[in-house]
Amino acid sequence: MASRDHGPDGRGAPGPETQHRPVEGAVPEAARRRPEDPPIRNPDQYSLTDHVRKRLVQGGRYVTVEGVDDAIREGQLRWNTSDGWRFARVVDGVRLVVAVCDTETASPVVVTAWTEVADIGAAEAAERWDRTDIETIRLRSTLSERADEHVPEHIRPRDVPRPFYVRGHRLVTDPGVGHLRCVDCSGRFRSKGELDRRRCSR
């Protein structure tokens, strides 16, 4: 996981190695596996969906190829009814969750990945994260968990001056203000649902 994720040019942004490696001979392996079979722990066997590739270069995601690889090798493995198998690894108070599929595709695939604060005290004490990193991760988690709800009470306390990316918008918050603001189109949003319904006009 990157210590900073300030966009494609920032510290912690992925370099030229972000293209994962489809592996020859994976088809027979995938064909033999069933959904209930635990996924393999060799990250070199996994390819990335376009969805994940986009997340690697979006500010405020804190998802990197290195972090994904480490989660597959060393993370906790759990089954989730909506996403299937998940690997999860906590580093300095922040959990990286990696959802994978290796039974329905020609080769094992990383379907999606995201971060969440697992231990606020450890995250605040770590040099890896600054205050904006932590505020961004917490706010993004709230937006995802309560996508169809207006959440001004959760937005208002968050101070996020560095833009993070959601649904085509680059968003910031202003302390004490109960909405997100897009720095490109000046749109104001109180829920992820509103972000889904309104495209950025930049």
pLDDT tens profile 110-151: 999 999 999 999 999 999 999 999 999 999 999 999 999 999
Per-residue pLDDT tens over the stretch 62-99: 999 999 999 999 999 999 887 789 999 999 999 999 99
156 touches 178 (CB < 8 A): yes
Of 97, 129, 161, the domain-final residue = 129
**Cα separation of 202 and 199, whole Å?**
9
CB 139 within 8 A of CB 160: yes
**Proportion of the chain above pLDDT 90, given as a percent:** 72
Q: Establish how many alpha carbons lie within 13 A of residue 8's alpha carbon, considering only the half-sphere containing its beta carbon.
A: 5
Q: 187: domain range?
A: 130-202
> Is 90 found in the same domain as 173?
no
Please check whether residues 51 and 150 belong to one and the same domain: no
Give the domain-ending residue among 70, 94, 129: 129
Q: pLDDT tens across 32-57, in order?
A: 677 778 899 999 999 999 999 999 98
Kindly state whether residues 50 and 88 are assigned to the same domain: yes
Could you tell me if 76 and 142 lie in one domain? no
pTM across the whole model: 0.80
